[in-house]
Structure 1
Amino acid sequence: MVRELVRVGVADGHRVSVACPSSGPLREWILAEGADWVPLEMRRSPHLSDIRAIARMRNLLAEYEVVHAHSSKAGATARIAARMSDRDAQRKLIFVPHGWSWCVGGPLAVAYRAFERRMAHSCAYIVAVSARELEVGRRVLGEDAPLIVIENAVDTEHWSPRGPGAARPVEPLVICVGRLTEQKGQDRLIKALSHGELWHVRLRLIGDGEKRSYLEELAARTGVAKQVEFLGECDPAPHYRAADVAVIPSRWEGLSLVLLEAMACGCAIIATKDGSSEMLSPAGLEVGGDTDADVVSELAASLRKLLQDEPLRTELGQAARQVAERCYDKAGWTAKYRELWDRVGYLR
């Protein structure tokens, strides 16, 4: 999403800068696209280094006409900086959480809810990326919170069934794309493979993250290590085209871009309820449950069902592509963000 906004801003002739850590590929991509890179080192969890990040955010709010804060951590830092500045700084700030901070659960969930309620009005708009995220936000933040919804979208020309497919095994191939984290739920999918009748299935994980070692150990411990490929970071489009089924096993999401990419590529999809599967109906299978064990069991059952029914996979893949083209193409999304930028400028 950040990359698409950068492209739109640069194409419209704006001066665009992206503040992000120096590690990872984003910095080089930003410079190649004609935008400026601003170093901003942050950790996901609260840390003393956040004091420096807040100071940097105050400078950015003073310098730029519109400031986007993407993710809960960036949003928290930017809104604290805006509160320490003036009302003008708050009016130019747009916060896009991409999944509410309290959804992580654990001992900090109550504190995150209280913080978000307190800071809800310290920006011009909070952008929910799905109708469900908007609904959940209103329940916690209040009806008067400056919430709007702009659903995520993808380039349906790039993410398309047309194009080269990756090499694949003769066995059924399942793909799962995303950072290897607790949130994305790849552990659920690995556990599902250990259920009966899935011994022949190959799972291809695309992405990297702090849970990679744990997931490799889990695959070995559950006896499916030879079935799982860890590909790291790469373009997933050819792999979507090669796969029999794409799975989104997330524990929480705003609106999964991976889900939309897989839909646009015409994949047969299985998604957890918390992985934004309500956006998928009727073009895929939804799984859920009160516990992780319930979700794992439903994932295994849904995989068996789809992998044994090629006509159903074809039907679901075609329906998913149609939904993506009709509802989630980036053209409408781009227009809504341009309108939002104009609105923020007017508020000032």
Structure 2
Amino acid sequence: MLHAVQPGDGGVARVVTDLVRGQLAAGLRVAVACPPGTELAAAVRAEGAEAYDWRVGREPGPALLRETRELGRLLRAVRPALVHAHSAKAGLCARLALRGRVPTVYQPHAWSFEAVGGTTAALARMWERAAAHWTDRIVCVSAAERRTGENAGVRAAWSVIHNGVDAARFAPPADAPASPGPECELPGAGPLVVCVGRLCRQKGQDVLLDAWPTVLAAVPEARLVLVGDGPDAAALRAAADPYFSVHFTGAVADPAPWYRAADLVVLPSRWEGMALAPLEAMASGRPVVVGDVDGARESLPPGHEEHCLVPSGDPAALAAALGRLLGRTELRHSLGREAREHVLSRFDVRRTGAAVAELYRELAGVRCTEHREPIAQ
């Protein structure tokens, strides 16, 4: 089977890497087509899967025909029994190249029409409705993401399979020998707020920076770290210039030490399917404050909405939630313990992998075997 993936970094890359690891362990032949030189390409090769260089950008444009043809050539070379396309661009190219000739799974990881407006959004909705005819199953990572698709007029066979995380990898310091390393050393000694995500409009770091002066007014010693890189990095750094308490790490290979260093994790997204970073933070025993977007309510433990869920795009509400939690140490610890137990019971990556494997068996009769033959070149 083949995963067609764009982007090759961030949460999507981590989701695909976890799937590939489990599928290889189960004896499946697995190939991945993704942009060359990305963290995903390196990660799946390290796991033992075949990684095929697919030169594809994030946005549709003049290169779309070339990108679709290139993926078509890879599909003819690999001849997979099933194709799993991840995110809008890969879903666009894969379904144009296949047009239903091979069992096709499409996983949006948040709908493309939520990221744009006007005519572009209308065209994206039209495409998603049309492409559903070439899709054997659309996999949504939350029931809310499915409802968003249905409300946009997408009529398809659906499966809702929540994202999962490796709870052992993100275990809190009490359960793991590793503790926050020197890369997490910062000036000051106040409570630390951590935001992990691509620096872009979707993740809402600009809303967080708008809220930060109000947070400092309530908790003057508070510190904020933005973990990640992205197209909005320069603008966010400029907006943070007046605040010595705001720090940027750039891209990091592993966010786990930052979760462990955090007193509180925040992700004020404008749209999601079900964000991975809050699940990772909760697996690390940390409470999270999240924007009320698709997947947020489903990811939180029961009763956490009162403290941890805020309206998307509302700096005042975000500041109030952060200030309240930063001022209540015992409440943070209690929420963190409940969050980890919640992830262990509902969002373990093995549960996700088993659900995806069952879907493959249903659609294409994919069977696990003891012997794996190399993919013909």
Same fold (TM over 0.5): yes
Cα distance in 2 for partners of 1:121, 1:146 equals 10
Sequence identity, in percent? 38
Moved more, 19-28 or 200-209: 19-28
Q: 2:146 aligns with which of 107, 121, 134?
A: 134
Q: Which residue of 1 aligns with 2:125?
A: 113
Cα distance in 2 for partners of 1:228, 1:180 equals 14
- 1:11 aligned partner, one-letter code: A
CA-CA distance at 1:312 after TM superposition: 0.9
CA-CA distance at 1:192 after TM superposition: 1.0
Residue by residue, what CA displacement relative to the aligned partner does 1:106-148 show, whole Å, maximum 9, x if unpaired? 2311111111111112111110001111111122234x41211
Superposition TM-score, scaled by structure 2 size: 0.84
Mapping of residues 5-16 of structure 1, within 5 Å: 5-16=19-30
Q: Which residue of 2 aligns with 1:232?
A: 250
- 2:143 aligned partner, one-letter code: A
Q: Which residue of 1 aligns with 2:325?
A: 306
Q: Which residue of 2 aligns with 1:79?
A: 95
Q: Which residue of 1 aligns with 2:159?
A: 148
Q: CA RMSD in A?
A: 1.7
CA contact (8 A) 1:97 1:128 kept: yes
**Tell me, which stretches of 5 or more residues in structure 1 are unaligned?**
none
Moved more, 254-263 or 235-244: 235-244
Q: Does residue 1:65 correspond to 2:81, yes or no?
A: yes
- 2:90 aligned partner, one-letter code: A
Q: Does residue 1:197 correspond to 2:218, yes or no?
A: yes
Q: 2:101 aligns with which of 67, 88, 93?
A: 88
Q: 1:31 aligns with which of 45, 64, 84?
A: 45
Residue by residue, what CA displacement relative to the aligned partner does 1:309-333 show, whole Å, maximum 9, x if unpaired? 0111011111111111111112221
CA contact (8 A) 1:165 1:239 kept: no
Bigger relative CO (Cα 8 Å, ≥ 6 apart): 2
| Number of residue pairs matched by the alignment | 334
**Tell me, which stretches of 5 or more residues in structure 2 are unaligned?**
1-14, 367-377
Q: 1:48 aligns with which of 57, 62, 67?
A: 62
Q: Which residue of 1 aligns with 2:238?
A: 217
Residue by residue, what CA displacement relative to the aligned partner does 1:38-97 show, whole Å, maximum 9, x if unpaired? 1112222212211122112323444111111111111111111122xxx432xx211100
CA-CA distance at 1:286 after TM superposition: 0.6
Cα distance in 1 for partners of 2:159, 2:199 equals 30
CA contact (8 A) 1:68 1:96 kept: yes
- 1:208 aligned partner, one-letter code: D
- 1:216 aligned partner, one-letter code: R
Q: Which residue of 2 aligns with 1:285?
A: 308
